Structure 1
């Protein structure tokens, strides 16, 4: 039990840091398997007392609870809890090692394969090299057999003639261009939005009862006229799904592959039935046993893409849409590599396929988030622009050393297909929205404990700061280091403050006290009851309310209060099946008796429509403006008839207040890169760092006042 407890804490810490490596995923699965085996053994152990078995089962329940919370934070881990999940050799080897560490005989595992043989690789190495299970659904085999050609002529599928081959680069052939191209979106905005010129809208064919807005029709018209690559970065709520489906119809880009987050794949099938009913859509669940192999539109979620990438690459798609495309920003991740692989296969087999990346928040942490999206669209490869973009850059007659290159380069990329519209510009009929802060006092034992932990964190930062000052003074006195102390009018070395704050963020030791991430989580737990109470009042007075929280225990606490008050609610969480999640969404939207939707910020923050409500409660703060905006835009979108208010619950006299101020004081990266804003750019990492900088600076200033 101690081995399991230690391992599950390691997994929890890794996921909190965002370090969900293959070895961590393997360890997560093995813990779940061993806990399952241990539970069966404890229940069947008649030689032990009832009290002993009850205590062991209680400890196993604690481990299971941690696993569930971790899985909610990292949705792909849910796949590993399925009874049919593949157990790799790496997992079996790790199971054997953990049992030996616990003093147990490995014996034979619950999957009938002996674990007593020698391990030829370490668990971590095997986790990264073990082959992934891939499948080919029978319906797909039937589709392939129905093809009368031995070798399908994919090029014959293209409805648009290929463009002339670009001229060989000359002026720019030896220049490094990717970094200047990326930087141009930060330095050359000039107050102009990043959006290509779109043709005037004509009469776009849509089903009866459907109606396109002008900005939607313009993009579809561009596809009708032959444009084939789009980074559709409209603000959330402006109908990107309908635009993509109708663009595929205009381009005759069938079969069409749509890659989406798990939480929205059923919604994509529904939207396809509404907007392009003559082109059947099918959704891949698990191994794909239930799909329609002859469908025109195939929808698959990122989490199961690895087991289907083989046959998907051979099907002959003429178009591919990637929804919530910021999911592929990490090019080292498996999901990104599979998406890029499929896009490359489609490009090599189809002349000018339709490729669309959809995201309302294409930039979250860094301008580098563009790289994977541009590569998916075929604008760049690993090291340089591809032919079409290179030709456009050559035609500017400029190099990165020339004045004006950044502006021209940015325009060249935009013309390839960046489309960005804001609600305020194209959907004036959508009512206004506002974020209203509600400060709450945490005056109970939990609140006192949080304030104490915050003081201890500040004291630890101050101690680190003074230790660094002393080390610098000793080095200067010894003459071993030439130390230059920056001037500080207030007596505080602000450069050192930032260094100390950055060191605190990277310190994962459990011996240094409570870190800022655990503190923010505790604040969320302490606010849960107050936030739920306010949401209940809103539901009684103004109608339906959406309640957002980051952590499952906050959702649990809120739901308990709603049940106690006699309020019916729908729960939208990451661990739910697609069918259950959609059922709960439909209940909130369609049943007047369901007053509140309790939503996970990560699982329900994208791709769902909840505009039946006009009030939402943000029970916990996000680390970025982008995540907060995504949640609000589940309500503030096309179809909303009333002004939207997001009630943000802030814990007064805690670091919660400072974080809210930091989020509000800096615009998202997309504002500068895409909307032409000159506001300061921030990311989640920036806010975390700045919160600690502010905490340490205030503590040092207070210390100085006391000394005076």
Structure 2
């Protein structure tokens, strides 16, 4: 706040100052709410902290008085910039607090001088534009098709297309027909598996859009790089999570060494503007979207494509803008979306990915898909429309292979639940808090029935239960006693037990991967390993890419490093830890997809031992409810992509579902 005050006094309310001003205001409001509702503070402590927050508020007011344009940032309905959201997240993480829904963001090797979003054009890119005449748009004649009949023009088709994947027939896997493999030139010592070579052959045959949804661990990075080589899709833009930028550069050097890659860090001052492969992370797209859209890319790869499932987010808008720009400048560019978990919560997660690939726009299928649907001769009212429509979408380029089908030599994996008792003071406190929560839910339910005044109902009113749960979730979001906070407390209580079990495994089986969701759980584990004399490395979100890679290399290559302590959000993607075959999940994830991603850091091509993931579950707590809900949601991708006849559980907020389960159990007992 003092930095903001000094900047405004100097008459410099630049974008960086405005971002800091808004972030301080957001955090001050949140902290005031927390302090007022915290049950662990004495009245004197509460008064002292509120007094300090009042001081912050006074400085905010005086600063805004010097520059009245800042007042708009204090309004309750003020739009929070993405830069302010990023800064808020970074400050909370630096304070040891993690957010429930946002992954940790690694520090850039060359951070930008300001967190504010701004457009830049690196000098090397300007040089390339001036020097390379081959980056002009391609205006070759596009293959002309007979305009499709207008039979489906008045139909709303996006909803039925998405529904067609929920209604998948049993055993019908979501994978396009792929050609037989062709000889592929790969560097010495490298070898493609058949399923990888099939996709490369499809690109060589002229197919240009792919949703590559192979299960994690089946080598999607190599497939994408070699498909780009087969399609001569250079220059190639690769958009990735920040934690895997370095890994993509390493993979490009291994699989396509004749095509130089460059990684954008910060403002991009160090990039090679003449490289064939440009690698950029989602978090800095806002600075580079302008020149990236004009460079003349002939291909684009989106890694961990489920990152754009929220179409209203800035990252999604930038990605869609870039793909649209590439299509407008290049005839039939190569567009690939890579994700082993394309469906996190809902079939709607497909929508943004399909739009990126150019299969649909905001409201309707694009011409190629619409033409294919017209050829079926069916409408959404016809019984055969849904399987036919699903088939047409798949042939647009969905490629989904499971390990059991294409990599039979990968050993089996199993998830083993290890239940522990929390018998200490922390455990008793957690169970007491859960009892209070259940009592509050039951009380609200009974009050609602009394208010209704229509007499007793037969059995449980499940609609009312869900409304009560949703209300509790909404009202408790700003307090310390919500489901997410309880799960964090359970994770803290389990941390020592999970670390002890990991230490036992390390002594008996060798290298072990330890996954946790929160920094404080990782801290407890590392202290435990130090006391036990066990050497470990650590993968966290606040590491630079070079430090992260050093930690990975230490675990993989040093026989004395027995454990790697990993953050679920920072190490859940783009990391190869197959040197181990045992892992410990100290905390539960909120999604099956996140859990699967973590396990597949170990269970992947090259693994020679059966893999066991040990989930540490706290008995007699909501931990047991959460694990049941997470496991039940695993059916979504199985049915939509793999043709399983497993029932899809309705997508809903897991926290709400947990509250529903708690209240239902209480009313049933």
TM-score (norm 2): 0.85
In 2, Cα distance between equivalents of 1:568 and 1:186? 47
Give how far 1:25 is off. 5.4
- Report if aligned partners of 1:11, 1:28 keep a CA contact under 8 Å in 2: no
In 2, Cα distance between equivalents of 1:300 and 1:153? 22
Cα gap change, 1:187/1:442 in structure 2, threshold over 3 Å: closer, same or farther?
Answer: same
Q: Answer yes or no: is 1:609 the counterpart of 2:576.
A: yes
Which residue in 1 is equivalent to 2:80? 23
- CA deviations 1:262-298 (Å, max 9, x no partner) are 0111000000111101001111111111111111000
Give how far 1:530 is off. 0.3
1:551-570 alignment runs, 5 A limit: 551-570=518-537
Give how far 1:65 is off. 6.4
Equivalent of 1:257 in 237, 253, 262:
237
Which residue in 2 is equivalent to 1:154? 137
- Report if aligned partners of 1:668, 1:683 keep a CA contact under 8 Å in 2: no
In 1, Cα distance between equivalents of 2:154 and 2:364? 10
Which residue in 1 is equivalent to 2:210? 230
Equivalent of 1:632 in 590, 599, 621:
599
Which residue in 1 is equivalent to 2:97? 69
1:526-565 alignment runs, 5 A limit: 526-565=493-532
Cα gap change, 1:392/1:28 in structure 2, threshold over 3 Å: closer, same or farther?
Answer: closer
Which residue in 2 is equivalent to 1:137? 122
- CA deviations 1:155-192 (Å, max 9, x no partner) are 17xxx984333523421111111111111010133320
- CA deviations 1:135-161 (Å, max 9, x no partner) are 111111111121247xx54217xxx98
Cα gap change, 1:65/1:309 in structure 2, threshold over 3 Å: closer, same or farther?
Answer: closer
In 2, Cα distance between equivalents of 1:30 and 1:10? 20
Cα gap change, 1:544/1:465 in structure 2, threshold over 3 Å: closer, same or farther?
Answer: same
Equivalent of 1:594 in 552, 555, 561:
561
In 1, Cα distance between equivalents of 2:100 and 2:383? 49
In 1, Cα distance between equivalents of 2:174 and 2:357? 17
Give how far 1:667 is off. 2.6
Which residue in 1 is equivalent to 2:71? none
Which residue in 1 is equivalent to 2:659? 692
- CA deviations 1:563-618 (Å, max 9, x no partner) are 11111111111111111111111111111111111111011111111101000000
Q: Answer yes or no: is 1:421 the counterpart of 2:401.
A: yes
In 1, Cα distance between equivalents of 2:455 and 2:370? 47
RMSD: 2.8
Give how far 1:9 is off. 6.7
- CA deviations 1:674-699 (Å, max 9, x no partner) are 11112122477353333222211222
In 2, Cα distance between equivalents of 1:255 and 1:688? 44
Cα gap change, 1:422/1:80 in structure 2, threshold over 3 Å: closer, same or farther?
Answer: closer
Give how far 1:80 is off. 11
Cα gap change, 1:388/1:311 in structure 2, threshold over 3 Å: closer, same or farther?
Answer: same
Which residue in 2 is equivalent to 1:124? none
- Report if aligned partners of 1:32, 1:81 keep a CA contact under 8 Å in 2: no
Q: Which moved more, 1:70-79 or 1:431-440?
A: 70-79
- Report if aligned partners of 1:321, 1:356 keep a CA contact under 8 Å in 2: yes
In 2, Cα distance between equivalents of 1:341 and 1:148? 24
- Report if aligned partners of 2:599, 2:613 keep a CA contact under 8 Å in 1: yes
Task: Determine helix, strand or coil for the equivalent of 1:384.
Answer: coil
- Report if aligned partners of 2:513, 2:565 keep a CA contact under 8 Å in 1: yes
Q: Answer yes or no: is 1:381 the counterpart of 2:361.
A: yes
Give how far 1:203 is off. 1.5
In 1, Cα distance between equivalents of 2:25 and 2:186? 61
Q: Answer yes or no: is 1:364 the counterpart of 2:332.
A: no
TM-score (norm 1): 0.81
In 2, Cα distance between equivalents of 1:245 and 1:645? 31
In 2, Cα distance between equivalents of 1:686 and 1:71? 16
Q: Which moved more, 1:223-232 or 1:654-663?
A: 654-663
Which residue in 1 is equivalent to 2:451? 471
- Report if aligned partners of 1:12, 1:66 keep a CA contact under 8 Å in 2: no
Q: Answer yes or no: is 1:491 the counterpart of 2:519.
A: no
In 1, Cα distance between equivalents of 2:656 and 2:336? 35
- Report if aligned partners of 2:165, 2:640 keep a CA contact under 8 Å in 1: yes
Give how far 1:371 is off. 0.8
Give how far 1:657 is off. 1.2
Which residue in 2 is equivalent to 1:206? 186
Task: Determine helix, strand or coil for the equivalent of 2:138.
Answer: helix
Which residue in 1 is equivalent to 2:470? 502
- Report if aligned partners of 1:75, 1:575 keep a CA contact under 8 Å in 2: no
In 1, Cα distance between equivalents of 2:394 and 2:85? 42
User: Which 4+ runs in 1 deviate beyond 3 A?
Assistant: 1-13, 24-33, 63-68, 70-85, 160-163, 486-491, 508-511, 682-687
Q: Which moved more, 1:193-202 or 1:500-509?
A: 500-509
In 2, Cα distance between equivalents of 1:612 and 1:449? 39
In 1, Cα distance between equivalents of 2:308 and 2:274? 28
Task: Determine helix, strand or coil for the equivalent of 2:463.
Answer: helix
- Report if aligned partners of 1:239, 1:638 keep a CA contact under 8 Å in 2: yes
Equivalent of 1:619 in 582, 586, 589:
586
In 1, Cα distance between equivalents of 2:164 and 2:88? 47
- CA deviations 1:239-268 (Å, max 9, x no partner) are 000000000000000000000000111000
- Report if aligned partners of 1:7, 1:27 keep a CA contact under 8 Å in 2: no
- Report if aligned partners of 1:196, 1:418 keep a CA contact under 8 Å in 2: yes
Q: Answer yes or no: is 1:674 the counterpart of 2:641.
A: yes
In 2, Cα distance between equivalents of 1:265 and 1:499? 43
Q: Answer yes or no: is 1:336 the counterpart of 2:316.
A: yes
Which residue in 2 is equivalent to 1:102? none
Task: Determine helix, strand or coil for the equivalent of 1:357.
Answer: strand
Give how far 1:558 is off. 0.6
Residues matched between the structures, number: 606
The gaps in structure 2 that reach 5 residues or longer are 1-23, 37-77
In 2, Cα distance between equivalents of 1:399 and 1:10? 53
1:73-88 alignment runs, 5 A limit: 74-75=102-103, 84-86=112-114
Task: Determine helix, strand or coil for the equivalent of 1:154.
Answer: coil
- Report if aligned partners of 1:615, 1:645 keep a CA contact under 8 Å in 2: yes
Cα gap change, 1:176/1:620 in structure 2, threshold over 3 Å: closer, same or farther?
Answer: same
- Report if aligned partners of 1:29, 1:80 keep a CA contact under 8 Å in 2: no
Q: Answer yes or no: is 1:655 the counterpart of 2:619.
A: no
Q: Which moved more, 1:623-632 or 1:255-264?
A: 623-632
Task: Determine helix, strand or coil for the equivalent of 2:80.
Answer: helix
1:449-460 alignment runs, 5 A limit: 449-460=429-440
- CA deviations 1:392-436 (Å, max 9, x no partner) are 001001111112011111111000100000001110000000000
Which residue in 2 is equivalent to 1:49? none
- CA deviations 1:76-108 (Å, max 9, x no partner) are 7767999744265xxxxxxxxxxxxxxxxxxxx
- Report if aligned partners of 1:245, 1:276 keep a CA contact under 8 Å in 2: yes
- Report if aligned partners of 2:111, 2:265 keep a CA contact under 8 Å in 1: no
In 2, Cα distance between equivalents of 1:68 and 1:24? 23
Give how far 1:7 is off. 4.3
Task: Determine helix, strand or coil for the equivalent of 1:648.
Answer: strand
Which residue in 1 is equivalent to 2:40? none
In 2, Cα distance between equivalents of 1:487 and 1:634? 55
